[in-house]
Amino acid sequence: MTKRIFVTATNTDIGKTYTTKLLLKEFSSRGIRVGVIKPIETGVDEIAYDGVELLECVQALNSEFMSLKVNDIVPITYKLAAAPYISSNKKNLDLNKLDLAIKKIENLCDILIIEGAGGLYVPIDEKYKMIDLISYFKATTLLVTHCSLGCINDTLLSEKALKDLDINFITAFNCNLNSNEFSKISEPYFLDTKKDVLKVDENIDTICDVLYNF
């Protein structure tokens, strides 16, 4: 059975696609057939840029994806760069379309990385928020957070949301931007309250170990 890992973040532009590509490369280096899907992407006029990046990455790692197109990787797109609820003009989420897309991709891989859009409470339609997709897909979760001022609050709020729904998750810090003062202004708190502070660039192997063994 294909293992599902959902990559979410504390907000938009935190580094989900960057992290997803690192996960794909690390798992592939271990001889595991990797796959990827981004169920929803907004801000798509003609090109789903995240989808293109993900497709090119996975095709370089798993030849079984060579016949797939961007719309296989991103089955639902909207033009306006906003929450899907707004971009779709309150259109109901087509879960069947997502199920069919995932079924097609899971035939080609042993680990499926599912990249979310925005943060956990981004509204998709009147019923679903992004966090609801994690539960629906029964996926283990990687929460990507930033390293700049404010990351303590942002991280704790997102972690609480995941805990409240009993979702298995780990947190990783994307410190490739605005991280010069992380060790002074934020990291001490996390070191005092967590066993490990995992960083996307430095600890991708450990992150994959934990996610794989959940």
Catalytic residue numbers? 38
Q: Is-contact 118 40, C-beta < 8 A?
A: no
How many residues does this entry show for the chain? 214
Cα separation values, 142 from 4, 15, 214, Å: 11, 12, 11
At 171, which helix (H) or strand (E)? strand 169-174
SS3 state of residue 144: strand
Q: Is the dihedral of CA 130, 131, 136, 138 positive or negative?
A: positive
CA–CA dist 159, 161 (Å, integer): 5
Measuring CA to CA, which residue among 7, 8, 11, 9 is closest to residue 34? 7
Cα separation values, 115 from 15, 148, 154, 189, 194, Å: 11, 22, 19, 28, 25
Q: Is-contact 114 3, C-beta < 8 A?
A: no
CA–CA dist 48, 56 (Å, integer): 12
